[in-house]
Amino acid sequence: MTALSPNELHDIEMLAVELAERAGAEIVSRLGSLLSVRYKTGAEDDRTLRNPVSDVDEAVERAIRERLAGRFPEHDVIGEEFDHRPGRDHSVVWAIDPIDGTSNFVNGFPLFACSIGVLERGRPVAAAVWCATSHALRPGVYHARRGGGLQFDRQPLTPARNPMVHRRLAGVPQFRRGRHPWDLRKTGSAAIECAFVAAGLLEAAAFNSPNLWDVAGGVLLVQEAGGTVLEGRPGAWQEFTQFAPRRGRGGTGDAPADLARWNTGLILGTSAEAARIMAEQAIAEG
């Protein structure tokens, strides 16, 4: 059970929605403009240029952090682009990915998202994911709070399912091959794939080692849509309950800085059966 009251959860969800909407507006306003882009590297000689960050990523995350500092200064904030900001209350953490799918964004490919997830002691309790496109063929925010059900742009959303469609879609890592009951898609954005599973556009999705900010929002969307989330690795999947901190060098294992190191494999399905099939495929191909 969450220690946050229903009113507190509602207020947190609505702030997350507001922040996601503002982020989306800023992102859209910069489409087609000359972006400042640099590339993160794992080592000085890494020239793969696979992890871009734009000035829009940084501006969006900075704006979200400033708003949170004014509204919930006691909460912790973990984001992709800037260092962890500790608050007085380590039990509540906001995990932010200002643009998930930056490679798509800087190339003008319209599949990217802004993901905001709120965790209480590692358990997702509120989420808002702005997506550049959606089931409604327009930008919008998928959002939820614990026990409140899935919503899209402040309206309840029940994933639609056409019984005439017998082969559906799934998002999987590129290395997966073999026989699948689905047609496979890779969007380049984990946050979008989570939101699309929640909305029923994808039957399932799998992530090898996502970052916390990639999926902290999307996991709750899937759960509140009635889906199933598994964590682990091929041959050792279990039902997801919370993001457990990963102890690093000098870490205690219970601080938000340790939580930021989380990168466990995830499987999301619109149903327990869809998640099971994906898990079995992962076992066969792992």
**Residue 70 reports pLDDT greater than 90:** yes
pLDDT, greater one: 126 or 90: 126
- Map tokens 């682009």 to a residue: 81
CA distance 177 to 57: 33
- Map tokens 């200064």 to a residue: 73
User: Going from the N-terminus, what domains does the chain have, and what CATH number goes with each?
Assistant: 6-285 (3.30.540.10)
Segment 70-85 shows an average pLDDT of: 88
State percent of the chain over pLDDT 90.
70
**What integer pLDDT is reported at residue 47 of this predicted model?**
62
**Which two tokens mark 264?**
């466990």
Closest CA to 124 of 262, 19, 237: 262
pLDDT tens profile 128-163:
999 999 999 999 999 999 999 999 999 999 988 888
Which pLDDT band holds residue 85 (cuts at 50, 70, 90)? low
Instruction: Using alpha carbons, list the distances in angstroms from residue 205 to 4, 180, 185.
Output: 30, 12, 9
**What integer pLDDT is reported at residue 150 of this predicted model?**
99
**Which two tokens mark 52?**
């871009």
pLDDT, greater one: 91 or 102: 102
**What integer pLDDT is reported at residue 260 of this predicted model?**
87
Closest CA to 281 of 192, 170, 120, 143: 170
Note if the pTM is more than 0.85: yes
How many secondary structure helices (H) and strands (E) does the chain include? 7, 15
Burial category of 86 from C-beta neighbours within 10 Å (exposed 0-12, middle 13-18, buried 19 and up): middle
Closest CA to 160 of 186, 138, 135: 135
**What integer pLDDT is reported at residue 282 of this predicted model?**
72
Which pLDDT band holds residue 252 (cuts at 50, 70, 90)? very low
Which pLDDT band holds residue 191 (cuts at 50, 70, 90)? very high
**Residue 42 reports pLDDT greater than 60:** no
Between the ranges 16-20, 78-82, 164-168, where is the mean pLDDT highest? 16-20
Which pLDDT band holds residue 55 (cuts at 50, 70, 90)? very high
**Residue 115 reports pLDDT greater than 80:** yes
Give the chain's mean pLDDT. Answer: 89
